């Protein structure tokens, strides 16, 4: 592949709902530009972008894939770096990584399905990152697909930015071409995306007039001179229209709507032309913003290949067969083979042997990569996603991709004993690739937890562990971190006496136990012994007995909190007493006293925030009440959304991700954090104590 300058590069992310046809769009564009000899199909498992075993098996994208193509544009050859992203919400981290380095977006919409939740989320991402965008409508070959109806819905949903650039031509209910509203010319398909000029059909002229008027009005608004000419009835030249439209598209004021058929590979020449003509090159799209490590000040630079090297690593690919690749966008300078780079985040130097671009699973060596381009480097030892590479003499750190926090989690266990180390190693490689995946060791409950965005992502991880790394894990419901405490004050004796020939063991204590009022601290220990009934040198042993009992409470073997233990009295034997005997005596007193002091289970409470459109608030609040949640209030957000704030027991949030998506059609999002412990209701306590007793019995047998 040739080396391209900054002006010749277009970095375009494909966004949209799962199943809308993003991978098919990438495949069609690759086929038309000569990358492949035949067009693959997702259903056949032979597309460029969906090459992973899991993607082929499930027939949807799981990872973001690079598909660079070369296109002969109106003003010379350009390189288009297509970033094909997953549409399913469990893999949103992949989308966020891709969007962080894209300069423009194509939102793919299935004409028959219309606006879906994934369409709305794609639009919101483009708004957040201020990405210029084109909406490309697929499935135009479907007889029941109404382009006019879809346009009305798009305008209602997204406002006046929506600007159809094409009107479909149908003959005998078949999609055979389109009218170009910018040039006001008809186009009839001849072979695939090739077309010839044709007459504009009479039945399209009414819609075409409305679309054309909106376009000309948008052109007029770009300058006062144009506005005067518009009102005086002057016509604009074709070049003036193109320039004005390009300016508005780049600024996000106009969102062109184009169309095609992925299966029949129709409409993609026009899309390629629009990418070349309307989308910005990296230097036009924006600036690289970071921090100059040498002085701590904000750093801003244009994409420029004539200054020193800096680049940001936005994604890592770890494949058992082709190895590890760090995908990066060159921000400034030129990345060359056989050079030394400096990882600013890790304060470490790394050697680069070769420089590549990835096209699906194909690895293509290139002489160099210039500012604005996207490529890859193999086998970097310390570099991870989010790191910045630069020169040691000019250390710059760019902002890391903003990645969603995972809140769904499951317990995982090895199916085969002895595989734990292999599983840990395999998970660390998967976590390098996917920043929304986390493996956590919950020492308190003696369980390993796997966090992700949703259940489907966790299922894919289990499948990858088996297919890639030949280890099997089982997912199950996690144990929750309950606590034990008491509600009233009691006094309890503890006497430990053992005689076994020679010196015996003797320890005798009388203690009081009461709530301390501090649920953050396991226990508070005091002594109020008079007259030396228990010698001072045994006080630490008594406290040690209390401390050890707090690790596993008498009620259900959960940690104990909020206890005040006071040593009141006791007795000792000058020969047989020992620290061990007094520790055991304190243990006996603790267990007796605890069970008499109104023992209760405390459950963890989370502070939950749920963001949903207005129409779903009733359903969500009703569901939270069923989960024993307390709704504390609602905050209005922009875009007709509400943030519901509630306190909910952590155990009731198990499976919440799936239920929330079901209630809201996938548009609802939530976050939570641990807040405090509260007394569990009687039925919950009874059920938990019984379940805990059964599990402890089975583990001991």
Can you name the residues that pair with 577 across neighbouring β-strands? 506
Indicate if 553 and 626 belong to the same structural domain. Answer: no
CATH label of the domain that carries residue 458: 3.30.70.870
Judged by DSSP in three states, 35 sits in coil
For position 155, which CATH number holds?
3.40.50.300
As a whole number, mean pLDDT of residues 518-535 equals: 88
Selection from 405, 402, 424 nearest residue 413 by Cα: 424
Q: 666 near 691, Cβ under 8 Å?
A: no
- Per-residue pLDDT band at 58 (split at 50, 70, 90): confident
Mean pLDDT of the region 443-458: 90
Please say if the pLDDT value at position 26 is more than 70: yes
Residue that terminates a domain, selected from 247, 266, 284? 284
Same domain? For 174 and 309 the reply is: no
- Distance between CA atoms of 8 and 663, rounded to whole angstroms? 46
Mean pLDDT of the chain: 89
In a domain, 698, yes or no: no
In the predicted structure, residue 459 carries a pLDDT above the cut 60: yes
Q: Please state the rounded mean pLDDT for residues 48-56.
A: 76
Portion of the chain with pLDDT greater than 90, in percent: 55
Residues 383 and 489 in one domain: no
Within a domain: residue 333?
yes
Does a structural domain hold residue 553?
Answer: yes
Residue 448 parent element (H or E): strand 447-452
**Sequence-separated (6 or more) residues with CB below 8 Å from residue 682:** none
What's the pLDDT at 696? 62
pLDDT confidence tier of residue 218, bands split at 50, 70 and 90: confident
DSSP for 460-489, written as a single string: HHHHHHHHHH---EEEEPPP---EEE-SS-
Instruction: Answer whether residue 531 shows pLDDT above 70.
Output: yes
The residue segments making up the domain with residue 154 are 6-284
Report d(CA 598, CA 154) in Å as an integer.
62
Q: Tokens 């910045």 belong to which residue? A: 388
Confidence at residue 500, expressed as pLDDT on a 0 to 100 scale: 67
pLDDT average, residue stretch 283-295? 86
In a domain, 696, yes or no: no
Confidence of residue 422 (pLDDT cuts 50, 70, 90): very high
The reply to whether 273 and 137 lie within a common domain is yes
Report yes or no on 419 lying in a domain: yes
Q: What is the pLDDT of residue 210?
A: 82
Lowest model confidence (mean pLDDT) among 493-497, 500-504, 548-552: 500-504
Burial class (CB within 10 angstroms; exposed 0-12, middle 13-18, buried 19+) of 243 = middle
Q: Is residue 318 part of a domain?
A: yes
Q: Are residues 295 and 279 in the same domain?
A: no
- Whether residue 298 sits in one domain with residue 275: no
Q: Which CATH number goes with the domain that contains 608?
A: 3.30.70.240
701 confidence band (pLDDT: 50, 70, 90): very low
Residue 694 has pLDDT above 80, yes or no: no
Local confidence band at 590 (pLDDT 50, 70, 90 cut-offs): very high
Q: Taking residues 455-471, report their average pLDDT.
A: 91
Residue 330 lies in a domain: yes
Q: Are residues 83 and 204 in the same domain?
A: yes
pLDDT, residue 46, reads 76
Structure tokens at 344: 């600013």
CATH of the domain at 587: 3.30.230.10
> What is the predicted pLDDT for the residue at 501?
61
Of 268, 284, 300, which closes a domain? 284
Beta bridge partners of residue 591, listed in sequence order: none
Same domain membership, residue 412 and residue 373: no
Residues 150 and 21 in one domain: yes
Asked whether residue 230 falls in the same domain as residue 378, the answer is no
227 in a domain, yes or no?
Answer: yes
Q: What is the pTM of this model?
A: 0.87
Q: How far, in Å, CA of 212 to CA of 205, rounded?
A: 10
- Domain endpoint, select from 330, 365, 398: 398
List, in sequence order, every residue forming a beta bridge with 334; answer none if it has no partner: 370
Cβ atoms of 176 and 188 closer than 8 Å: yes
pLDDT digits (tens, 9 = 90+) for 367-421: 999 999 999 999 998 999 999 999 888 889 998 889 999 999 999 999 888 888 9
| Count of structural domains within the chain | 5
CATH number of the domain residue 349 falls in: 2.40.30.10
Say what the pLDDT of residue 632 is: 94
Q: What is the pLDDT of residue 68?
A: 94
**Which pLDDT value is given to residue 591?**
94
Comparing 43 with 112, the larger pLDDT belongs to 112
List, for residues 68-107, the tens digit of each pLDDT value: 999 988 788 999 999 999 988 889 999 999 999 999 999 9
pLDDT of residue 505: 86
Q: Which of 163-172, 269-278, 331-340, 492-501 has the lowest mean pLDDT?
A: 492-501
Q: Is residue 699 very low, low, confident or very high in pLDDT (cuts 50, 70, 90)?
A: low
Provide the pLDDT for residue 174.
Answer: 86
pLDDT, one tens digit per residue, over 219-243 is: 787 778 888 888 888 888 888 888 8
DSSP 254-274: -EEEEE-BTTTTBSHHHHHHH
Whether residue 237 sits in one domain with residue 94: yes
Q: Both 352 and 449 in a single domain?
A: no
């Amino acid at each position: 592949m040739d080396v391209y300058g900054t002006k010749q590069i277009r970095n375009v992310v494909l966004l949209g709902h799962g199943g809308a046809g993003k991978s098919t769009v990438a495949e069609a564009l690759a086929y038309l530009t000569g990358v492949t000899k035949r067009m693959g199909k997702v259903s056949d498992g032979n597309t460029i972008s969906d090459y992973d075993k899991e993607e082929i098996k499930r027939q949807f994208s799981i990872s973001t894939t690079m598909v660079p193509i070369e296109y002969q544009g109106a003003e010379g050859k350009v390189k288009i770096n297509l970033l094909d992203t997953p549409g399913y919400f469990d893999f949103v981290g992949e989308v966020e990584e891709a969007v962080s380095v894209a300069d423009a977006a194509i939102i793919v919409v299935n004409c028959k399905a219309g606006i879906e939740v994934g369409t709305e989320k794609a639009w919101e991402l483009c708004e957040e990152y201020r990405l210029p965008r084109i909406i490309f409508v697929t499935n135009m070959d479907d007889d029941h697909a109404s382009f006019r109806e879809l346009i009305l819905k798009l305008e209602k949903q997204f406002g006046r930015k929506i600007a159809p650039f094409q009107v479909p031509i149908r003959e005998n209910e078949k999609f055979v071409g389109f009218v170009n509203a910018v040039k006001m010319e008809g186009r009839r398909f001849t072979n695939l995306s090739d077309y010839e000029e044709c007459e504009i059909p009479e039945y399209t002229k009414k819609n075409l007039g409305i679309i054309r008027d909106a376009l000309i009005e948008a052109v007029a608004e770009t300058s006062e001179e144009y506005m005067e000419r518009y009102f005086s009835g002057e016509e604009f030249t074709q070049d003036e229209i193109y320039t004005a439209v390009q300016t508005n598209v780049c600024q996000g004021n106009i969102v062109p709507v184009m169309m095609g058929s992925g299966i029949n590979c129709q409409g993609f020449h026009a899309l390629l032309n629009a990418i070349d003509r309307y989308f910005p090159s990296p230097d036009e799209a924006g600036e690289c913003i970071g921090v100059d490590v040498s002085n701590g000040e904000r750093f801003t630079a244009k994409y420029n290949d004539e200054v020193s090297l800096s680049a940001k690593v936005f994604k890592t690919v770890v494949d058992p067969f082709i190895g590890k690749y760090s995908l990066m966008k060159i921000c400034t300078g030129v990345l060359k083979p056989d050079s030394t780079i400096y990882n600013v985040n890790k304060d470490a130097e790394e050697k680069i042997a070769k420089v590549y671009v990835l096209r699906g699973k194909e690895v293509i060596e290139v002489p160099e990569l210039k500012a604005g381009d996207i490529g890859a480097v193999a086998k970097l030892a310390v570099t991870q996603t989010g790191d910045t590479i630069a020169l040691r003499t000019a250390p710059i750190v760019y902002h890391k991709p903003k990645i969603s926090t995972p809140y769904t989690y499951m317990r995982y266990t090895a199916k085969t004993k002895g595989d734990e180390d292999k599983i840990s190693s395999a998970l660390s490689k998967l976590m390098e690739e996917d920043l929304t995946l986390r493996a956590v060791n919950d020492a308190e409950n003696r369980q390993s937890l796997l966090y992700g965005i949703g259940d489907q992502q966790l299922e894919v991880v289990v499948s990858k562990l088996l297919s890639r790394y030949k280890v099997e894990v089982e997912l199950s419901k996690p144990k929750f971190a309950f606590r034990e405490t008491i509600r009233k004050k009691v006094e309890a004796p503890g006497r430990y006496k053992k005689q076994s020939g020679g010196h015996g063991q003797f320890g005798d204590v009388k203690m009081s136990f009461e709530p301390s009022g501090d649920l953050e601290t396991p226990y508070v220990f005091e002594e109020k012994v008079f007259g030396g009934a228990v010698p001072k040198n045994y006080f630490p042993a008594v406290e040690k007995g209390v401390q050890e009992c707090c690790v596993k409470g008498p009620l259900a073997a959960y940690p104990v909190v909020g206890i005040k233990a006071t040593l009141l009295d006791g007795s000792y034997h000058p020969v047989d007493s020992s620290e061990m005997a007094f520790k055991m005596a304190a243990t006996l007193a603790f267990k007796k006293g605890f069970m008499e002091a109104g023992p209760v289970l405390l459950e963890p409470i989370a502070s939950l925030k749920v963001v949903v459109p207005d129409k779903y608030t009733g359903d969500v609040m009703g569901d939270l009440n069923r989960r024993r949640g307390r709704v504390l209030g609602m905050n209005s957000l922009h875009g007709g959304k509400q943030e519901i704030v509630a306190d909910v027991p952590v155990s009731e949030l198990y499976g919440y991700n799936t239920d929330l998506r079901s209630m809201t059609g996938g548009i609802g999002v939530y976050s939570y954090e641990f807040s405090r412990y509260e007394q569990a209701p009687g039925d919950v306590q009874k059920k938990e104590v019984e379940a805990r007793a059964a599990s402890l019995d089975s583990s001991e047998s």
